[in-house]
Structure 1
Amino acid sequence: MSPPLSPVRTRNAAATRTAILEAARRRFAHEGYDQTGLRDIASDAGVDAALISRYFGGKEELFEEVLTCGPNIAEFLDGDREGFGDRVATMMAMEPMREEKFQLFLIMLRSASSPKAAAAIRRHSRESFYEPLEAWLGGEDAAVRARVLSCIMMGATMNRMIHEDFLLDDTQRQNLCEALSRTLNHYASGPV
């Protein structure tokens, strides 16, 4: 009797690339740039570490790709200007907290102290958040208004990550959402 044939492992470049990105996203979110190793990512993805170099080049390039694949400001800019505050405040204060929504923020927060990662974070923030937001806002003070909106959004996000319910009951949380919406709409619609 002959031994059973081992299953043939099919090669699927897109699936391998996706598995590496997902594993990297989770590792960078939980450990930050400096504490994350390529071998750990490869192990999590179920691939050989050499494939990371093949698909991405190295850790810096993989990190940049993870940043690029994350959510960006476009989802909030899709709609009328008057609804901007409502869209953002509802997501930050009322929608169920899902890790993937906040993963990019965690990645940036936990990696910002790394000089290599900080450069990529600055570039990504400028290209994927500030520049599109400034263009959407328009006007002379668009850069300042974009930074004010960013500060409010990051502060609310950080608070939500620490205290999922903001340490408020449902009515208070709804009031917070409405106050955030008004504040965001103020800076989205007019001069500083």
Structure 2
Amino acid sequence: MADASGAPRRRDAAATRQALLEAARRRFTRLGYDGTTLREVAADAGVNLALIKRYFDSKEGLFKAAIASTPRALGGPAGVPGDRARLADALSRQLSADAWPEFGEHPVLMLLRVSGDEQVDALRRAALQDFTRQILDGSGTGPEKDPERLLRAELLVALGVGVAVIRSAVGLQPLRDATPDALRGPLRDVIDALLGPESEPVEG
């Protein structure tokens, strides 16, 4: 492809990869793994189909990249915030009404679409496990391998997934239209109740 001067247009590899990733998230969120085709993803991103193979190798690779970034969206590039107040704030923003207008539904729903493919299902479990580990890292509630602590973190992950389902798939009010300000206080109460007392910092 050439620009107005006739010179070949340089492709921004990072921007192309990001465009494919965003298009894939939208498709996987709305249609699931089986209902999404690579041709449609490429068309949505406005790029050649061959570029998916270049950047992601396969449909499975594209799906893996799409879901790998979904849990981390909670806290941005740095992951889940490291204290209770910021965690409640991040959750309230990401679970509120209209938090993900570009997807139409909360992108975490792509983790729930049934695929019938064990490899794909394993990728989804790994993404939720990664989210749980991030909660553990930021919760400060005790030994890392404490089974009860892990269970509590998984319950918090389940809460987030459940809110996304109720909001996007069911539309139950007032949760569907709840704002970050309305969610922040109740979510902080739930976080404290589920994760238990915060551990005291260890003195050096």
* TM bracket, shorter-chain basis: 0.7 to 0.9
2:188 is the counterpart of 1:181: yes
CA RMSD, Structure 1 to Structure 2 (Å): 3.3
Whichever of the two has the greater Rg, that structure is: 1
CA 1:120–1:108: 2 relative to 1, 3 Å: same
1: CA distance, partners of 2:99 / 2:61: 29
Tell me whether 67-76 or 146-155 shows the greater mean CA deviation.
Answer: 67-76
What is residue 42 of structure 1 aligned with on the other side?
42
Number of positions where the alignment pairs a residue of Structure 1 with one of Structure 2: 183
- TM-score after normalising by structure 2: 0.72
Distance 2:60 2:175 in 1: 38
Contact 2:96 2:177 (C-alpha < 8 Å) held by counterparts: no
* Bigger mean CA deviation after superposition, 160-169 or 48-57: 160-169
Distance, in Å, in 1 between the alignment partners of 2:33 and 2:13 is 25
Q: Is the CA contact 1:93–1:177 (under 8 Å) kept in the aligned structure 2?
A: no
Instruction: List gaps (5 residues or longer) in structure 1.
Output: none
Q: Trace 1:23-102 onto structure 2 (pairs within 5 A).
A: 23-72=23-72, 73-74=74-75, 77-81=80-84, 83=85, 86-87=88-89, 90-91=92-93, 96-99=98-101
Distance in 2 (alpha carbons) for counterparts of 1:155 and 1:36 = 24
Could you say if the C-alpha distance between residues 9 and 148 of structure 1 is closer, same or farther in structure 2, counting changes exceeding 3 Å? same
Residue aligning to 1:151: 158
Aligned to 2:132: 130
Contact 1:34 1:114 in 2 (8 A): no
Deviates more, 1:51-60 or 1:61-70: 61-70
Taking the aligned partners of 2:175 and 2:132, their CA distance within structure 1 comes to 30
More helix by proportion, 1 or 2? Answer: 1
Distance 1:112 1:57 in 2: 19
1:10 alignment partner in structure 2: 10
The aligned counterpart of 2:119 is 116
Q: Is the 8 A contact 2:109 2:161 kept in 1?
A: no
Quote the Cα distance in structure 1 between the aligned partners of 2:37 and 2:150.
Answer: 36
Identity %: 32
Give 1:43 deviation, angstroms. 1.5
Q: Give the structure-1-normalised TM-score.
A: 0.75
